[in-house]
Homo-oligomer: A and B are copies of this chain.
């Protein structure tokens, strides 16, 4: 854990989608004493309300900086989140062994690569990402084996490889259930009304209540015994 209240806090890049997990991750990085540089992506995702949520989170949590980077993953589609030709599934039972159509090809590989570049420019060696292999084990890029392999590629592919250190990819939510993530956030006074998880929230940030992400979020709050502050359309 980094030293708290240090004048020269260590810098960390935190991937901030605007969802529940990344909000919790940011709160954890701050609680661990890092000076946080939040990084969000405008990847032409169907759920652009995520970015509005990221901005609300930044306004409240006040990281040292917030970069919103445009990467047009709609260029080639391939996911329900980046192609209008693929529908977001609703009210389905979630099979953790199956890769869902909301999987965006190589998304975390891309996002971590960009976070690595930002970290290298900042002189930061710590990167936080809110991946989780409990609820989302159907996404290959959320697994520990990938994160570890990425850290090695990042070390070798940057000037960091000339020094005696490596990038630390922090995944504090990796082994937590959604309920445990929420409880950890509540301990840190996280205001979950700031975050949007829904894959198809409307322009006012109201969640659909029926997509996989809403289903997991609702179940997580119920299991945590915490009132869900989300505004659902149904």
Contact = CB atoms under 8 A, between A and B. Distances in A.
Interface of A: 67, 69-73, 75-78, 99, 103-110, 112-114, 116-118, 120-122, 140-141, 143, 145-146, 149-150, 152-159, 161-162
Contact of A70 (B70, B117, B152): B70
Contacts of A99: 159, 162
Contact of A106 (B103, B104, B158): B158
Given A72-B70, A140-B157, A149-B152, A109 B103 contact: no
B117 A110 contact: yes
Contact of A75 (B67, B140, B143): B67
Contacts of A159: 99, 103, 105, 140
29 contacts: A69-B75, A70-B70, A70-B72, A75-B118, A76-B121, A78-B121, A99-B159, A104-B117, A105-B120, A105-B159, A106-B113, A106-B114, A106-B154, A107-B117, A109-B153, A110-B110, A110-B113, A110-B117, A113-B113, A141-B158, A143-B156, A145-B156, A146-B153, A149-B149, A149-B152, A149-B155, A150-B157, A152-B152, A153-B153
Contact of A71 (B71, B107, B155): B71
Contact of A69 (B72, B103, B118, B122): B72
Contact of A118 (B76, B113, B120, B153): B76
A69 B103 CA distance: 20
A36 to B, nearest CB: 15
5 nearest A-B residue pairs (beta carbon): A78-B121, A106-B117, A105-B120, A146-B156, A149-B153
Q: Which of A113, A114, A157 has the largest count of B CB atoms less than 10 A from its CB?
A: A157
Contact of A157 (B73, B77, B106, B117): B106
Given A109-B113, A114-B110, A116-B106, A140 B161 contact: yes
B152 A109 contact: no
